[in-house]
């Protein structure tokens, strides 16, 4: 039996010194209120994306002000994932080739990734493996989206990339208790979300949704994060995209692409995501899911490359 610590240590975010809180509900409140702000450049980009007067040049100008973001955009634009015919050497050209929305989403993902990155060695689970799972979910989601013509193709990859972000938040800012969650998940072969609910009373999907809302991310990204374990409760307008990401999450776990937090087996056709998709896109019932899963081997390189870029490689 695993005993919960009487006092839970929470790393201080504002002063870096740390503090102790006994009541986990209060701690969760603190987690949310102390979460780091999203970098200014992302706020500007999201505003520009909403502004019908902004054009490719204004988006490129915002990105060009931040050298590390510019570098990330160029790396991602030149990655195997996009397979562009020519080398992309400038941010202007990257925006022209990939479009304003896609480029903004690259920046949003890189910004979230950097803002939440814990110090090396302080994490409970391997972050490399965690992000590999996230990238795999994004890559697979995009492939399902293309295969079935379901979901928002501009945002789906980035939804996959960020869907489990609540786990990183919990591990970073509620470290002691999350270590127990991971231990229980392994020892009892539970889905991670069940261990979270039992021990914390809250789960990474809700926490992830809260941070996305706090950061004022596009509503579709919020919904993917919030409902990827609960597609049935998702608002109707975002359900197709959320269902595709949720199915991709399952497939990434079945194929053992990285570490999704748990390795519990599932019958794909029994999942809420599959049932929701079968209603929206009946073609999925005729799809050879087994073959689709086997063919995913070919995405391995894309996953490794993207994971390396996000990790600052
Ligand atoms: Fe999840
Ligand atoms: Fe996941």
> Domain spans of the chain?
40-116, 125-310
Query: Nearest ligand to the C-alpha of residue 192?
Result: 1
Ligand 1 center–CA 162 separation, angstroms: 10
Q: Count of alpha carbons within 13 Å of 47, Cβ hemisphere only? A: 7
Residue 262 has pLDDT above 70, yes or no: no
Ligand 1 center–CA 228 separation, angstroms: 6
Confidence band for 15, pLDDT divided at 50, 70 and 90: very low
- The structural architecture, per CATH, of the domain 125-310 is Orthogonal Bundle (1.10)
Ligand 2 center–CA 118 separation, angstroms: 19
If one counts every other C-beta atom within 10 angstroms of the C-beta of residue 147, the result is 14
pLDDT of residue 5: 43
Ligand 1 center–CA 171 separation, angstroms: 14
Q: Are 10 and 174 in contact (CB under 8 A)?
A: yes
Ligand 1 center–CA 134 separation, angstroms: 10
Ligand 2 center–CA 294 separation, angstroms: 19
Ligand 1 center–CA 166 separation, angstroms: 8
Ligand 1 center–CA 208 separation, angstroms: 9
Using N-to-C axis directions, what is the helix angle for 239-254 and 272-280, rounded to 10°? 130
How do residues 173-198 score in pLDDT, each as one tens digit? 778 888 889 888 888 888 889 999 88
How do residues 69-120 score in pLDDT, each as one tens digit? 898 889 888 887 788 888 999 999 999 999 888 888 888 888 887 777 776 6
- Proportion of the chain above pLDDT 70, given as a percent: 82
Number of H helices, E strands in the chain: 17, 2
Ligand 2 center–CA 57 separation, angstroms: 35
Ligand 2 center–CA 249 separation, angstroms: 5
Using N-to-C axis directions, what is the helix angle for 219-227 and 204-214, rounded to 10°? 170
Closest CA to 138 of 238, 11, 251: 251
How do residues 210-261 score in pLDDT, each as one tens digit? 888 888 888 999 999 999 999 999 999 999 999 999 999 988 888 777 766 6
Closest CA to 179 of 169, 171, 187: 171
**Mean pLDDT across the chain, nearest whole number?**
81
Ligand 1 center–CA 157 separation, angstroms: 15
């Amino acid at each position: 039996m695993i005993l919960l610590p009487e006092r839970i240590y929470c790393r201080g975010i504002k002063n870096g010194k740390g503090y102790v809180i006994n009541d986990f509900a209060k701690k969760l409140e603190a987690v949310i209120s102390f979460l780091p702000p999203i970098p200014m450049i992302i706020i500007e980009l999201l505003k520009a994306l909403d502004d019908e007067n902004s054009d490719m040049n204004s988006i490129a100008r915002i990105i060009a002000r931040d050298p590390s973001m510019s570098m990330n955009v160029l790396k991602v634009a030149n990655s195997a994932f996009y397979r562009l015919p020519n080398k992309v050497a400038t941010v202007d050209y990257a925006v022209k080739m990939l479009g304003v929305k896609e480029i903004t989403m690259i920046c949003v993902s890189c910004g979230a990734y950097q803002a939440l990155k814990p110090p090396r060695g302080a994490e409970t689970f391997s972050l490399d493996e965690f992000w590999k799972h996230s990238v795999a979910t994004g890559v697979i989601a995009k492939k399902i989206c293309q295969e079935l013509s379901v979901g928002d193709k501009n945002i789906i990859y980035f939804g996959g990339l960020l869907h489990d972000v609540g786990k990183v938040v919990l591990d970073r800012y509620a470290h002691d208790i999350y270590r127990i969650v991971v231990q229980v998940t392994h020892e009892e072969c539970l889905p991670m979300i069940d261990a979270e609910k039992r021990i914390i009373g809250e789960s990474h999907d809700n926490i992830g949704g809260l941070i996305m809302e706090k950061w004022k991310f596009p509503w579709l990204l919020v919904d993917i994060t919030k409902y990827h374990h609960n597609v049935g409760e998702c608002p109707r307008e975002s359900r197709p995209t959320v269902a595709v990401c949720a199915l991709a999450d399952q497939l990434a776990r079945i194929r053992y692409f990285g570490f999704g937090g748990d390795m519990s087996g599932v019958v794909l056709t029994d999942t809420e995501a599959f049932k929701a998709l079968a209603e929206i896109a009946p073609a999925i019932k005729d799809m050879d899911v087994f073959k689709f899963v086997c063919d995913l081997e070919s995405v391995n390189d894309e996953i490794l490359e993207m994971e390396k870029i996000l990790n600052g490689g």
